[in-house]
Amino acid sequence: MLSRSDLLTLLTINFIVVTKGAERISEVSARFTLDAMPGKQMAIDADLNAGLINQTQAQTRRKDVASEADFYGAMDGASKFVRGDAIAGMMILAINLIGGVCIGIFKYNLSA
């Protein structure tokens, strides 16, 4: 069974390391993808104008670039959800601990 200090350590690691790290990675990935998008679009247009690809291939490449940007944008949103979930878990834990101590002290006359 976990002691209180072990539980607080795990919660701290979960919040600081996992959620902050994942959030930062997804933000940077989304930013780099969005920053590179105009260059990729211009490269597709240049290939199309040079005759290296046809209109169908250009549309396919544009669709791939757009879906990649959508993926990284969704990943950024998902990391914010995970961070909110970790905060909610910490709040629920705090409420349960405080409520349990109060019920034990006031209802069952236990010592703190």
pLDDT grade for 104, boundaries at 50, 70 and 90 = very high
Range of the domain at 28: 4-106
Q: With 80 as the cut, is the pLDDT of residue 1 above it?
A: no
**Is 75 inside a domain boundary?**
yes
The number of residues making up the chain comes to 112
**Is 112 inside a domain boundary?**
no
**Is 67 inside a domain boundary?**
yes
pLDDT at residue 109, as a whole number: 92
Neighbours of 67 (CB within 10 A): 9
**Is 111 inside a domain boundary?**
no
Question: 3-state SS string over 77-102?
Answer: HHHHHHHHHHHHHHHHHHHHHHHHHH
What does the alpha-carbon distance between residue 102 and residue 60 come to, in Å, rounded to a whole number? 62
**Is 74 inside a domain boundary?**
yes
Copy the structure tokens of residue 91. 């709040």
Average pLDDT over residues 56-81: 93
Domain count, the chain: 1
Copy the structure tokens of residue 87. 């905060």
pLDDT above 70 covers a percentage of the chain that reads: 99
Copy the structure tokens of residue 96. 């349960």
pTM over 0.75: no
